[in-house]
Amino acid sequence: MKGAIMQPYFLPYIGYFQLIASVDQFIVYDNIKYTKKGWINRNRMLLNGIDAMFSLPLKKGSDSLDVVERELATDFDRAKLLNQFKGAYGRAPQFELTYPVLERIVCHEDANLFRYIHHSIVRLCEHLGTKTEIKISSEIAIDHGLKGQDKVLALCKAAGADTYINTIGGVELYVKDDFRIQGIDLQFIKARPFEYAQFGAPFVPWLSIVDVLMFNPLNTVRACINENYDLV
């Protein structure tokens, strides 16, 4: 069985969904430290030809809290965020198909940061036709005091994975021989280039999956997610 483990990200770029599609079981960390300068609750959209940040506002909390312990701000204006997307993509060719999915995600009422993002990941996988089983890290019986590679190995063993796939950025973090000793094949996913028209302007890469869905037919997006990568 192939498995992958990642932090939760709100409306992440397409590579996140390629990783999900490449495995049989995808584990999302909920009991991992929230990082202020990370991408857990923020991403980028295309606005007037350039990338623009959008984010989920959070209640103030200790820097030591895990993602699952963080809450959305009480004044989080879901309608305002949706209007940002409308303003950015209202003229996009796939707006009518994509906006209802986005609306269902943004209007989700749960105030817990992890559950809100988890809901968005599940809904997007449904839209993309991705059947991968998605599990939550804290619900898997391991020593959750473990860190880094040791925690990944423990989760893989508990889940019965014989192959672990990580993003290409993890090449410097993990040692293939350490996985091999545990009977696990370590692989890395490397996305191939995927460019598309964005209102006729120069292409802006590394935007949210929303951008990909707004400009491309759903079948094209599904084919990119399922096929447009290499495992190394």
pLDDT, residue 31, reads 94
CA count, 13 A, side-chain hemisphere, 111: 9
Q: Exposed/middle/buried for 144, CB within 10 Å: 0-12, 13-18, 19+?
A: middle
Nearest to 193 by CA among 7, 15, 2: 15
Helix intervals (H) in the chain:
14-21, 78-89, 95-106, 113-128, 148-159, 176-181, 209-215, 218-227
Token couple for 125 = 């996988």
pLDDT, residue 29, reads 96
CA–CA gap between residue 202 and residue 48 (Å, rounded): 11
Nearest to 213 by CA among 77, 88, 107: 88
pLDDT, residue 137, reads 96
- List, for the chain, all residue ranges whose pLDDT scores fall below the cut of 50: none
pLDDT, residue 82, reads 97
pLDDT, residue 114, reads 97
pLDDT, residue 172, reads 83
Which residues lie closer than 8 Å to 137 by C-beta, 6 or more apart?
5, 27, 28, 29, 30, 31, 32, 144, 155
pLDDT digits (tens, 9 = 90+) for 60-91: 988 789 999 999 999 999 999 999 999 999 99
> 87: helix, coil or strand?
helix
Radius of gyration of the chain (CA): 18
pLDDT digits (tens, 9 = 90+) for 107-141: 999 999 999 999 999 999 999 999 999 999 999 99
Nearest to 166 by CA among 181, 148, 144: 148
pLDDT, residue 198, reads 97
Please give the DSSP secondary-structure letter assigned to residue 47: E
pLDDT, residue 61, reads 86
pLDDT, residue 52, reads 96
Query: To which residue do tokens 């990909």 refer?
Result: 212
What one-character-per-residue DSSP string does 114-143 give? Answer: HHHHHHHHHHHHHHHT---EEEEGGGS-S-
Instruction: Starting at the earlier edge strand, list the strands of the sheet with 25-28.
Output: 133-136, 25-28, 2-6, 163-167, 185-191, 229-231
pLDDT, residue 62, reads 84
